[in-house]
């Protein structure tokens, strides 16, 4: 799977897709939707679709696809490679949503929660398949939130398609299992090959599982939090675990709307500037370098 576009810019979203098998343009197709990486505090979330003709569904089942969470990494890679080999009747597409995109969406002035982001991404992928000419007749989706509400929303959006939304759909429908494998393979590769734009000292790539309750993941977060600028873009800073670490490990900053005098104390922006020469040379943060800003000696 070629994730070079994501490696060039991992701050937004990236869409990848296979060629559309010619048979999928003619015959009615079944399409599955699933995601990988919804819960972790580290790395992207990936949504994927997989589709094949209804007449070839038994061939897809014969690949022994299963819920990606029940498979080892090597098994997932093998099954994805097999689906690529069977590209004459199996197609896929996916959206990789960066941690930065997820967190800025959730913490923006207009809130865009994870469920809404997930629903819109799944809808966008189904529409993408239709725009590519795939003859979609049935859609199966692993639910986010209440399945009845989600199914009604998708059915209204795609009135000519039979839509089924179920909890644990990745364990019930092979085409959703196949989508879950595509999503998980992409996320694993994205995490393994993540390009850090920040110049981190003593970067440790042993993140643990990436889930908020993993002690190794928490230790990694504490090690790589900047007291002023927070976390690298690999981190979903909107997660409660990340916010708790910021509260204990980072500096408090109090922004004044108007000048109130030269009051000293923690949290003032003046505390980040020094009136005396630095005793050691330290490169400025990437934020300042990109904007050509230099440290001030007098405020």
Nearest-angstrom CA–CA distance, 204 and 277: 32
H or E element that contains 50: strand 45-53
On the 0-12 / 13-18 / 19+ scale of CB atoms within 10 A, 208 is middle
Question: Does the pLDDT of residue 62 top 60, yes or no?
Answer: yes
Instruction: Give the pairing type, strands 91-97 and 45-53.
Output: antiparallel
Q: What is the pLDDT of residue 253?
A: 73
Interval 209-237: pLDDT, tens: 899 999 999 999 998 888 888 899 999 99
Answer for the pair 235, 212: CB distance below 8 angstroms, yes or no. no
Give the residue-averaged pLDDT of 10-35.
95
Percent of the chain that is helix, strand, coil (3-state, to 5)? 40, 15, 45
Which residues, in sequence order, are CB contacts of 94 under 8 Å at separation 6+?
15, 16, 17, 46, 47, 48, 49, 125, 182, 183, 186
Question: Does the pLDDT of residue 270 top 60, yes or no?
Answer: no
Which residues, in sequence order, are CB contacts of 220 under 8 Å at separation 6+?
42, 204, 206, 207, 208
Answer for the pair 35, 104: CB distance below 8 angstroms, yes or no. no
Interval 172-182: pLDDT, tens: 999 999 999 99
User: For the stretch 134-159, what's the b/e string if a residue is b when 16 or more beta carbons lie within 10 angstroms of its beta carbon?
Assistant: bbbbbbbbbbbeebeebbeebbeebe
Interval 235-269: pLDDT, tens: 999 999 999 998 888 887 776 654 554 555 555 55
Where do the domains of the chain lie? 3-193, 215-249
The pair of structure tokens assigned to 124 is 């966008």
Work out whether the CA dihedral 80, 82, 84, 87 comes out positive or negative. negative
* Residue 142 annotated as binding site: yes
Its CATH architecture, for the domain 3-193, is: 2-Layer Sandwich (3.30)
No. of helices (H) and no. of strands (E), the chain: 12, 6
Q: What's 251's DSSP letter?
A: P
Answer for the pair 33, 47: CB distance below 8 angstroms, yes or no. yes
* Residue 259 annotated as binding site: no
Q: What is the pLDDT of residue 45?
A: 95
The three-class DSSP label of residue 73 is: helix
Q: What's 48's DSSP letter?
A: E
């Amino acid at each position: 799977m070629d994730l070079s576009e994501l490696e060039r810019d991992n701050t937004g979203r990236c869409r990848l897709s296979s060629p559309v098998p010619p048979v999928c343009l003619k015959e009615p197709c079944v399409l599955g939707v699933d995601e990988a990486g919804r819960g972790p505090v580290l790395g992207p979330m990936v949504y994927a679709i997989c589709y094949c003709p209804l007449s070839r569904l038994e061939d897809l089942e014969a690949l022994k696809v299963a819920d990606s969470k029940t498979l080892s990494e090597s098994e997932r890679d093998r099954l994805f490679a097999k689906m690529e080999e069977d590209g004459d009747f199996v197609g896929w597409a996916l959206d990789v949503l960066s941690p930065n995109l997820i967190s800025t969406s959730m913490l923006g002035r207009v809130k865009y929660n994870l469920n809404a982001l997930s629903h819109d991404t799944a809808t966008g992928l189904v529409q993408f398949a239709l725009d590519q000419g795939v003859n979609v007749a049935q859609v199966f989706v692993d639910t986010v939130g209440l399945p009845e509400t989600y199914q009604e929303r998708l059915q209204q959006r795609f009135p000519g398609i039979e839509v089924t939304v179920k909890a644990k759909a990745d364990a019930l429908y092979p085409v959703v299992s196949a989508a879950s494998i595509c999503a998980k393979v992409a996320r694993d590769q994205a995490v393994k090959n993540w390009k850090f734009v920040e110049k981190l000292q003593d970067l440790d790539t042993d993140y643990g599982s990436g889930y908020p309750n993993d002690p190794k993941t928490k230790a990694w977060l504490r090690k790589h939090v900047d007291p002023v600028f927070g976390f690298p873009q690999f981190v979903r800073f909107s997660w409660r675990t990340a916010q708790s670490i910021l509260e204990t490990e980072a500096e408090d900053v109090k922004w004044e709307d108007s000048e109130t005098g030269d009051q000293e104390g923690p949290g003032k922006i003046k505390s980040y500037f020094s009136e005396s020469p630095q005793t050691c040379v330290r490169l400025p943060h990437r934020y300042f370098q990109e904007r050509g800003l230099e440290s001030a000696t007098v405020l």
